């Protein structure tokens, strides 16, 4: 599995039954990436038919992305009928132990935050461990301020 946050989010959402498309575009003239509605990198269709916009990044930049979305006046309109998530990715684990990719998911519609471990090991290999909440082992991780 690729180590880009976008590819990890796509794999995570597809594994949960979502149909996903990347909606972030590269403008070669301005040499900048442009998000859908200046908010989302990925548009996902949930199994229940709900549209979900996802901004994906590393965990260190998740608070910035949450602030960016909350500052956008279209977010309130979007959340009336759709979902909005921020996915932050980081490798986490106890010192001396195998590090696992950890997803911090912030739901901007319900204002909730969840952290889970991905099933991939340090080199993208399948891990033997089950997916467990990260909050049990590292209560300070995932705070976005």
| Residue 143 located in a structural domain | no
3-state secondary structure of 22: strand
- Say what the pLDDT of residue 143 is: 42
Structural domain contains residue 119: yes
Q: Is residue 85 part of a domain?
A: yes
Q: Closest by alpha carbon to 119, among 103, 143, 136?
A: 103
**pLDDT given for residue 109 in this prediction:** 80
110-119 burial: b if 16+ Cβ within 10 Å, else e: eeebebbbbb
Residue 49 lies in a domain: yes
Portion of the chain with pLDDT greater than 90, in percent: 59
Domains identified in the chain, total number: 1
Range of the structural domain that residue 82 is part of: 5-25+32-136
Average confidence score pLDDT of the chain: 81
144 compared with 50, residue with greater pLDDT: 50
């Amino acid at each position: 599995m690729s180590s880009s946050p976008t590819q990890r989010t796509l794999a995570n959402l597809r594994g949960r039954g979502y149909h996903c498309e990347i909606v972030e575009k590269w403008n070669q003239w301005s040499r900048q990436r442009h998000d859908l509605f200046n908010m989302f990198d990925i548009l996902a269709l949930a199994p229940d038919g709900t549209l979900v916009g996802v901004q994906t990044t590393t965990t260190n930049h998740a608070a910035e992305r949450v602030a960016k979305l909350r500052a956008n006046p279209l977010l309130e309109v979007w959340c009336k009928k759709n979902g909005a998530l921020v996915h932050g990715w980081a490798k986490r684990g106890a010192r001396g132990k195998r590090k696992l990719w950890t997803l911090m998911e912030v739901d901007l519609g319900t204002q909730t935050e969840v952290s889970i471990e991905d099933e991939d090991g340090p080199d993208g290999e399948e891990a033997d461990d089950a997916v467990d909440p990260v909050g049990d082992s590292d209560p300070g991780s995932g705070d976005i301020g």
